[in-house]
Chains A and B, each alone.
Chain A
């Protein structure tokens, strides 16, 4: 079972300092600004406390923990209670199951008041560029000639 992350909000890393290399996010994958405090025992990526998981594989990053869980999960088991038990209260593994109305911004759902003043044109806020944040992993492999 994955332990829930520390809810204390750390300070973001100082300019120029090392930052957590995990990109798992609650809604989108995005760069993390917090200072690293651990190294994943699987991929050795440096991660902040929020992106550290203590699971079957030891101390890992969120991405490796997800991979470990996918490999170990019984795919024929669709029992939601088992999934809940597996992930505990970690928001990186939860969507609509835990957060009512997750992903829905219609009236009455969480976050809908942010759209009270939207015009029809505002709903085009999300562009193809935002899709970049949905891609997990290190996209610069074999692209960055100085990145070794």
Chain B
């Protein structure tokens, strides 16, 4: 989901400034969420079946690339592609190829073939977080990439209304269900238990809501109405919470390439069991929070400048 969101963030900006984009993705999110309202004219999404195996993915990517009339190719996160299919495909292109280098675990990034593939890109853009190959000479670091600019976010009252939260001054806690099916189920159960623990008679009373991307997306737009966000520690959740000043309570998950534990700073809150999460929420609800207008730098704008310079 994170890869698609990051790619869409860039594509929106590019299309708004006259550059058409094709997003090639195998993310299930591409078909689950209603992107129509967010996608300007000029952005088309080519969806690869999320259930396709590596051979089918590699074949489809090769087919799509062979049809291209692009001015530039961008690859998100995986220098060799998710199926290791890219090196022969990209080597046949005469257009600039740029790697969007989100964090990759050392166990993968250290592989000689991965480093070689990263070095073969014309440019590397690091979207706002430490990444193992960020010190390569052709890498540029930008601020984190966000799907929406600060002025596109809704105000607290409108956001709470959208989340079905009364505008009564009671703090709001939103639990996000994303990731694998068991993880989503676990988040929903946590939200239910948390809602009981933070009921009207509780010392730490809050309105608790459970959201999933297929129904509530993009959540970023509604974060001004969220006092505490309970989620995982993927790229978008963490960067969106930080940018909007939303207190995040994160349950880092195990991923093949990402290291969610490592993304959180010492000052950020994480938990393992549901009981820990609820205890943390109850503690944080009892501390005062001053709401401030959201102002943040969206790294996609700088990234577009880098990309356009590469094409020129």
Contact = CB atoms under 8 A, between A and B. Distances in A.
The bracket for how many chain B residues form the interface is 20 to 34
B193 to A, nearest CB: 15
A145 B26 contact: yes
B107 interface: yes
Contact of A141 (B108, B182, B253): B108
A92 B245 CA distance: 44
5 contacts: A18-B254, A141-B107, A141-B256, A148-B2, A148-B82
Interface of A: 16-19, 21, 35, 39, 42-46, 63-64, 137-138, 140-148
Contacts of A18: 253-254, 272
A137 to B, nearest CB: 7
Given A145-B53, A147-B257, A43 B105 contact: yes
Interface of B: 2-3, 26, 50, 52-54, 57, 77-78, 80-84, 105-108, 111, 182, 186, 252-259, 261-262, 272-273
Given A16-B186, A138-B256, A142-B54, A44 B272 contact: no
B261 A39 contact: yes
B52 A147 contact: no
Contacts of B3: 148
Main secondary structure of the interface of A (DSSP, over half): loop
A137 B111 CA distance: 11
A43 B107 contact: yes
A39 B253 CA distance: 12
Nearest to B2: A148
B182 A45 contact: no
Nearest to B111: A141
